[in-house]
Chains A and B, each alone.
Chain A
Amino acid sequence: MNDMRVLERAVDNQDLKIAARDVDVYYGTTHAIKSVNVEILDKTVTAFIGPSGCGKSTFLRCLNRMNDTIDICRVTGDILLDNEDIYDAKVDPVQLRAKVGMVFQKPNPFPKSIYDNVAYGPRIHGLSRNKAELDEIVEKSLRRAALWDEAKDRLDQPGTGLSGGQQQRLCIARAVATGPEVLLMDEPCSALDPIATAQVEELIDELRERFSVVIVTHSMQQAARVSQKTAFFHLGELVEYGDTSQIFTNPQDSRTESYITGRIG
């Protein structure tokens, strides 16, 4: 664990972006998330870590109501985005998801061209007035996802023809292109090589200037490298949440300590 150096980046923003209050999630009778309270700051990278099956993805999916698509899933408690309850009856999840973008655990590009993949979000949200603007958005997004150099000559080829890692970066570009305020990333680097991982981490760091980023990761090193805040989940509970430097150097809970030193999980 020699590269466990925690970047001493101060959390330079204390504005609250998302607040979860007493959130419980049930899949049928399975209690997947147990009374989680967490406050996610604006312009900050927050990492969710924890052993497999502890509910990181589940909680992440609550933040943009992707759990609505699972019939048996039931969410209770309040999740506030900019002080508005996203589970309020008045809220249209479609509008919410335009603000809270998501990159999934498995790359899932549309079986369309690379260009159309990235342009889809801007198109349906009317973010560009003409083709030139759309081209610009596509290029900028692909650049940010570190895919531009590889993809610029084959924009009209299917996104599904890319390698796994390239597909994941395409999905990131696609999510970024919509211009979300919060970007949720579920293990975005699990299929990437170290170079692409470094590029994505750079991207995440860059995104922090404008968005709030929540990233689920199994790599402690990654959490340490990119995040300012870290939340440790265990068996559906939020065990510990705090500054990344504090979690990794001075965990308060014994379970956190065991996990980051590799004894559980």
Chain B
Amino acid sequence: MSDATAETPRKSSLYRTSDRVKRRNRSEVRFRVLGLTAIGIGVAALALLVISIIGNGYNAFRQTYISIPVELTADRLDPDGNRDADEMSRVTTFGYAPLLAQSLYTYLQDQDISMEGVSPQALMAMISQEAPAQLRRSVLDNPEMVGQTVDLEMLANGRIDGYFKGRVTMASAELDSNVTPAQLQLAQRMADAGIMATRFNWAFITNPDASGQRPEAAGLGVAILGSFYMMLVVLALALPIGVAASIYLEEFAPQNRFTDAIEVNISNLAAVPSIVFGILGLAIFINFAGLPQSAPVVGGLVLTLMTLPTIIIATRASLRAVPPSIRDAALGLGASKMQSVFHHVLPLAMPGILTGTIIGLAQALGETAPLLLIGMVAFVREFPAAPPEGLFDPTSALPVQVYNWTQRADPAFVERASGATIVLLLFLVFMNAMAVILRRRFERRW
């Protein structure tokens, strides 16, 4: 024993907190407060974002409809009288529109609803331009309808719809050349009479996009399908390629300059701005390989390139997290390298790989910039065919649709864009929940 330790220990009561300990406790409290504040700010920002998006967007899921009986007069819709769809298709939507306006006019008269200050043209303008087109489609599908009186539910014009959602007011209508206060008053009377009502709008999910004059008819159908097809392509390509590349790099590749260079490049790729991938996709897949523009297959390929680094980095990290003793154990039993990787290492790394993949997919789902460059921004009303042919049909994509709608003049599209954002967020939440569930499922095994 040296002299230094032979010193008699200072006596102190355990009940009295020493200054040093007090200082330590104080700094701990400070740190906790700091942490809580940080989390509080984060949660508040998130809540604000969610509230503002939902507040703006939930109206996109509701739509105003006018429900009236309409007589489908045969002499207008089927002048030849033979109910042949081909011949009937010569009657354009311009033939249907007056029919609707006329029916509405007569119905309002029958119901004793005053149309004060609203000319027949203005009355017709209260019906969406999409309504005659929809009616025409269903008549051509069922020619027997002609000659009957059917109860129709037709879209109201976007401005009228906006009135019931609070977007359009009497005051704003004064200044708006597209709508008059008289029309709004009439709409109110129609709503009171039960002719006009706002209800949940599935068409927002199922309809294709609509032109700038018809925000009330615009839907996300094509965009959702396009995004879904792209995710299929990304999943089918990025997961196997990414996992195979990671396994090779992590488990088989020798450590040398070449693999080091590859590693650095993969990390760099993850940081490349996504628009660069769009330029690459344009140059390679469209200009060089001659794939069609606006097609999900091209979007999927570009997003695959973008997602690969994410998946590779996540997969390598989770492979590296598997203790080397497991590999030794397998090799020591005479398992081949492949067997040790596929029987033992990969199952253990699976939760991490899946999480990385889903995060990569979620990133790809929300990616806009590269898709703009490969023409996914086109106005597409045709639904794509089922895969695999559908992968080559032009489609839109969810985030691009959001971008697209925010560019349009009619404020109704802003509401639609927020609604699309909600759908996009729901998809992301769903995917992240899947990631958590899958991880739990795989981890529960040990």
Contacts and interface: CB of A to CB of B under 8 A. Distances in A.
Interface stretch (A10-18, A106-114, A226-234): A106-114
Given A108-B325, A111-B446, A124-B339, A97 B254 contact: no
B335 interface: yes
Given A111-B348, A111-B446, A120-B343, A94 B334 contact: yes
Contacts of B328: 66, 69, 104, 108
B47 interface: no
Contact of B255 (A69, A71, A101): A71
A1 B390 CA distance: 82
B326 interface: yes
A71 B328 CA distance: 14
A94 B336 CA distance: 6
Interface residues of A, number: 29
A217 to B, nearest CB: 18
Interface in B117-168: none
B62 interface: no
Nearest to B332: A102
A95 interface: yes
Contact of B329 (A98, A99, A104): A104
Interface of B: 254-255, 323, 325-336, 339, 343-344, 348, 445-446
A109 B333 CA distance: 12
Interface stretch (A26-34, A36-44, A171-179): A171-179
A23 B254 CA distance: 24
Given A71-B254, A98-B334, A178-B334, A109 B329 contact: yes
Interface of A: 64, 66, 69, 71, 94-99, 101-102, 104, 106, 108-112, 120-121, 124-125, 158, 160, 171, 174-175, 178
A171 B328 CA distance: 12
B333 A97 contact: yes
Given A66-B328, A69-B328, 18 more contacts: A94-B336, A96-B334, A97-B333, A98-B333, A101-B333, A108-B325, A108-B328, A110-B329, A111-B326, A111-B445, A120-B333, A120-B335, A121-B333, A124-B339, A124-B343, A174-B333, A178-B333, A178-B334
A110 B255 CA distance: 27
B326 A110 contact: yes
Nearest to B327: A69
Contacts of A178: 333-334
Contact of B332 (A101, A112, A160): A101
- Residues of B contacting A: mostly: helix
A120 B336 CA distance: 13
Given A111-B348, A124-B335, A124-B339, A158 B446 contact: yes
Contacts of B326: 108, 110-111
- Residues of A contacting B: mostly: helix
A110 B327 contact: no
Given A111-B446, A158-B446, A106 B334 contact: no
Nearest to B334: A98
Contacts of A96: 334
B347 to A, nearest CB: 8
B334 A124 contact: yes
Given A106-B325, A111-B348, A160-B446, A64 B332 contact: yes
B260 to A, nearest CB: 13
B327 to A, nearest CB: 7
A154 B328 CA distance: 25
Contact of A171 (B329, B336, B344, B348): B329
B334 to A, nearest CB: 3
A109 B332 CA distance: 12
Q: What 7 A-B pairs come out closest when comparing CB atoms?
A: A98-B334, A108-B325, A102-B332, A111-B446, A97-B334, A121-B333, A108-B329
Contacts of B343: 120, 124
